[in-house]
A and B are shown apart, each in its own frame.
Chain A
C-alpha cells in the first residue's frame, strides 16, 4: 500500500512540468502555430524562476519571472512566425538553440547556489483520507493549479468564444479572417500563452522538483511535451493522461530497480511512451480526420491575407 501511494505520488509530482508545457503547446498548436521552442522556453523559465526567486526571496515573483521569461522568448518565435511568416520549424529550433546557450551563459554565476523552493501542500485533515490524502500531502499548489488547468483549457477549447476563435484560426484562417476573427492577434496570444506555461513548467523544476539551477536541467522534457501533444491528439484531457503515463512509467522503472522485482523489463518501460507516440502519430496520419482527433488543419502554415 505504501508503495502504491509512493508510486502515485511521484508519478503525479514528476509529470507536472510536461503537463504544463504540453497544455501550453496544445493551445499554441490549436491556433496553427507549431512551437518547437518549448525546451528553450522551459530552460529560461527554470533559470528566471530560480534567479528571481533567489534574489527577491518571493516564490510568487519567481514563478512570475519564469512566466515572463517564457513569454518573452515566445514573443520572438511569434514575431518570426506570424509577422515575418518565417518557417515555424526553423524559428522554433532556433529559439531552443538560442535559449540553451543563453541560459547556460547567463546562469553561470547561479550554478550551485542555494535558493528558495516551494514546499508540499498543507493538507490538514485530508491526510486521513486513504490513498488520496498521502498522495496529496506530497504535492504542492502549483501541481493543483496545473491539474485545474486541464478541464479549464478543455472547456475553453470546446465551447467558449475565445476557444472557438482559436480553433477557427488554427483550422481555417482564411474563413476565420473573413468572419472577422483577428487571426494574427489570436495567434500571438496563443503563442505567448504557450511560452508562459512552458516557463512555468521550467520553474517547477528549479523551484519545486530539483531546487537550484543547473545547466540544461530540463533534460529534454520540453521535447517530451511536444511529443505529448501528438500523443494527446491536441486535447488537454488526453495530455494529462499522457503526462501521467510518462511519469508513471518512469516511476515504475525506478521502483522495479529499487525493489529488485522486475515485472516488466526496464527497456520496455523506457520504450513504451515513445512507441505509443509513434503509434498514435501513425493513426492520426492514416485515419486523417476522424473523431479520434487530428492535427489542426492549418498547423505550421503562415497566414497570408488575400
Chain B
C-alpha cells in the first residue's frame, strides 16, 4: 500500500510539475526578437531609423529581450534570412521593408507559432501583422514651417514615384500653402513646390546634381526625400536652406536644414514585444503617427523664428492628440479636378494608394 501511495504521490508531483513547468518558464523566458533590415544600420536614413528603434527596444526591455538583426536583406535573400530566424526559434520577426512582404508571408505559413511583423506592406496573416508610420504628418509640419517662413518656390528631390513619397509631397504642399496663407505671403497657387524624381531611395551623385539644378533654377528651399542627406548638403553648400528627411540631416553636416521629420519606430517595437509577452498580440494593420509617437521632428534650426516654432508646435500638438485633418477637402489635383470633396477626409485606403499630385505641385509623376 505504502509503495502504491508513493507511486501515486510521485506521479501527482510529476504531473503538477509538468503543468507548472512551462508556465514558470514562460514568466522568466526572454522574448527573442529578430529584424531583417534593408540596408546597413548606418545608411543615414531608413535603416538607421530602424536601428535606432532596435536600440530603443533594448534600452526599454533590457533583459526581457534578446535581439538580433541582419543587414542588407534584399528581396532575393529575404525568405532565407526570415526562415532561418524562425527555425532558430525567434518569437517575433520584423521585416522592415516592402520587399520582405511576400517572402515573410511564405515563412509565416510554415511557422504558425512565430509572430511576424512587416513594415510598409498591405498583406496580413493569422500570425503576421503589418505596421507603418504616418510620415506625411511630419512632412505636413515641415511644409507648414516653410510656408510660415515665406518659402514659396520649393524644389523637392523626390525618390520613387509610389504612394508613400507622393502622399508626402502632397502633405508637405498642403502644409506649405497653409503656412503661406496664414503668414499672408503672396504666392502662385499652381506652383509652390517643384518636384523632380531620383527614381531611387539613395543616389548621392544624382541627388547632388538634382539639388544643384533646382538651386540654379532659383528655388528658395530644397526638400530632401532620399535616405542619404546629399540634396540637403548640396543646398547648404550653395547657401540655400533645406528640409531633411527620415533621419536628422543636420547631424550629417547639413547645417542649413530647418527641420527634419524622422521615423521613430522604437515605441512600436516595444508595444509588440509587450503584447507578445502578455499573449494579447493580434495581427493588425497598424499605422501610427504623432499620436503613437512613431514620427518625430528634430530640433529646429536656429534661424527658425520663435513665432513660427510656436505655430508648428501647436499644429503638432493637435496631431499628438490624434486630430489629423491634413487631407480634409476640398483638395484639388494638378488639373484642378476635385479629388477630396469639401469637408470630407481621405480614408486610409485612399492615402495608401494615392497616385495623384495636388494643385500647387509642379512636375509630374513619371511612368
A interface vs B, CB < 8 Å? 2-3, 6, 10, 14, 104, 108, 111-112, 114, 205, 209-212, 214-215, 217-219, 221, 250-251, 254-255, 257-260, 266
| Measured CA separation A205–B228 after assembly (Å) | 15
Q: Are A251 and B213 in contact (CB under 8 A)?
A: yes
Q: Are B197 and A257 in contact (CB under 8 A)?
A: yes
Q: Are B209 and A212 in contact (CB under 8 A)?
A: no
Q: Are A205 and B205 in contact (CB under 8 A)?
A: yes
Interface 1/0 per residue, B38-51 and A, CB below 8 Å: 00101110000000
Is the CB of B169 closer than 8 A to any CB of chain A? no
Q: Are A250 and B209 in contact (CB under 8 A)?
A: yes
| Measured CA separation A112–B45 after assembly (Å) | 10
Q: Are B363 and A257 in contact (CB under 8 A)?
A: yes
- Residue from the list B197, B208, B213, B253 in contact with A6, Cβ < 8 A: B213
Residues A260 and B42 in contact in the complex (CB < 8 Å), given A14-B205, A219-B204, A254-B209: no
Q: Are A10 and B207 in contact (CB under 8 A)?
A: no
Those of B346-364 within 8 Å (CB) of chain A = 362-364
A38 to chain B, nearest CB (A): 16
Task: Report 10 cross-chain contacts, Cβ distance below 8 Å, ordered by A residue.
Answer: A3-B216, A6-B213, A111-B43, A209-B205, A209-B208, A211-B233, A221-B205, A257-B197, A258-B363, A260-B194
Residues of chain A lying within 8 A (CB to CB) of residue B138: none
Other than the known A2-B216, A14-B209, A112-B44, what 6 A-B pairs have Cβ atoms closer than 8 Å? Answer: A6-B213, A14-B205, A210-B230, A212-B253, A214-B230, A217-B205
Is the CB of B175 closer than 8 A to any CB of chain A? no
Residues A258 and B214 in contact in the complex (CB < 8 Å), given A112-B42, A212-B253: yes
B54 to chain A, nearest CB (A): 17
A162 to chain B, nearest CB (A): 34
Residues of chain B lying within 8 A (CB to CB) of residue A114: 252-253
**Residue of B213, B214, B251 ringed by the most chain A CB atoms within 10 A:** B213
Q: Are B205 and A6 in contact (CB under 8 A)?
A: no
B interface vs A, CB < 8 Å? 40, 42-44, 155, 194, 196-197, 202-210, 212-214, 216-217, 228, 230, 233-234, 237, 251-253, 362-364, 366
Q: 3 closest A-B pairs (Cβ-Cβ)? A: A114-B253, A6-B216, A257-B196
Q: Which DSSP category, helix, strand, loop or mixed, fits chain A's interface?
A: helix
Nearest neighbor of A211 in chain B, beta-carbon distance: B233
Q: Are A212 and B252 in contact (CB under 8 A)?
A: yes
A222 to chain B, nearest CB (A): 12
Q: Are A254 and B44 in contact (CB under 8 A)?
A: no
Nearest neighbor of B155 in chain A, beta-carbon distance: A258
| Measured CA separation A6–B210 after assembly (Å) | 12
Residues of chain A lying within 8 A (CB to CB) of residue B205: 14, 205, 209-210, 217-219, 221
Residues of chain B lying within 8 A (CB to CB) of residue A214: 44, 202, 204, 228, 230
Residues of chain A lying within 8 A (CB to CB) of residue B233: 210-212
Residues of chain B lying within 8 A (CB to CB) of residue A108: 40, 42
- Residue from the list A218, A258, A266 in contact with B194, Cβ < 8 A: A258
Q: Are A112 and B252 in contact (CB under 8 A)?
A: yes
Q: Are A112 and B251 in contact (CB under 8 A)?
A: yes
| Measured CA separation A254–B366 after assembly (Å) | 12
Residues of chain A lying within 8 A (CB to CB) of residue B237: 211
| Measured CA separation A14–B213 after assembly (Å) | 12
Residues of chain A lying within 8 A (CB to CB) of residue B217: 3, 6, 258-259
Q: Are A260 and B209 in contact (CB under 8 A)?
A: no
A97 to chain B, nearest CB (A): 15
Q: Are A219 and B196 in contact (CB under 8 A)?
A: no
Nearest neighbor of A9 in chain B, beta-carbon distance: B216
Residues of chain A lying within 8 A (CB to CB) of residue B364: 260
Residues of chain A lying within 8 A (CB to CB) of residue B212: 10
Q: Are B40 and A215 in contact (CB under 8 A)?
A: yes
B350 to chain A, nearest CB (A): 26
A78 to chain B, nearest CB (A): 28
| Measured CA separation A251–B217 after assembly (Å) | 13
Residues of chain B lying within 8 A (CB to CB) of residue A217: 204-205
Q: Are B213 and A258 in contact (CB under 8 A)?
A: yes
Nearest neighbor of A259 in chain B, beta-carbon distance: B217
| Measured CA separation A104–B202 after assembly (Å) | 15
Residues of chain A lying within 8 A (CB to CB) of residue B230: 210, 212, 214
Nearest neighbor of A109 in chain B, beta-carbon distance: B42
Q: Are A258 and B196 in contact (CB under 8 A)?
A: yes
Residues of chain A lying within 8 A (CB to CB) of residue B203: 219
